[in-house]
Amino acid sequence: MEAKPKSRDLGASFSQMFELIPALDDVALEQVYRVRHDVYCRDLGWEPARENGLETDEFDRHSLHCLLRRRTTGEPVGCTRLILARPEAPHHPLPFEHSCKEVLDRSVADPAKLPRHTLGEVSRLAVLNTFRQRRGEDSSAVSMTEDDFGGPGPQARFPFVPVSLYLGAAAIARRFGIEHVFVLTEPRLASHFSRIGFDIRPVGGAIEHRGTRVPSLLSSSKVVAGLRPLIRPMYEVIERSVDEAFRLDPNAWRWVASRATQIAAEEPLALP
Task: Please tell me the distance from the alpha carbon of residue 84 to that of residue 62, in angstroms, as a whole number.
Answer: 6
Position 212 scores a pLDDT of 86
pLDDT in tens, 8-64: 688 999 999 999 999 998 899 999 999 999 999 999 999 999 999 999 999 998 999
| pLDDT given at position 39 | 95
The residue extents of the domains of the chain are: 10-139+160-259
Examine the pLDDT at 209 and tell me if it is beyond 90.
no
Express each pLDDT in 84-119 by its tens digit.
998 888 899 999 999 999 999 999 999 999 999 999
pTM of the model: 0.83
Among candidate residues 53, 29, 30, the one with its CA nearest the CA of residue 41 = 53
Confidence at residue 141, expressed as pLDDT on a 0 to 100 scale? 59
Q: Are 214 and 185 in contact (CB under 8 A)?
A: yes
**pLDDT of the residue at 191:** 74
- Return the CATH number of 10-139+160-259, one of 3.40.630.30, 3.40.50.10860, 3.40.50.300, 3.40.50.80: 3.40.630.30
Report whether 179 contacts 126 (CB < 8 A). no
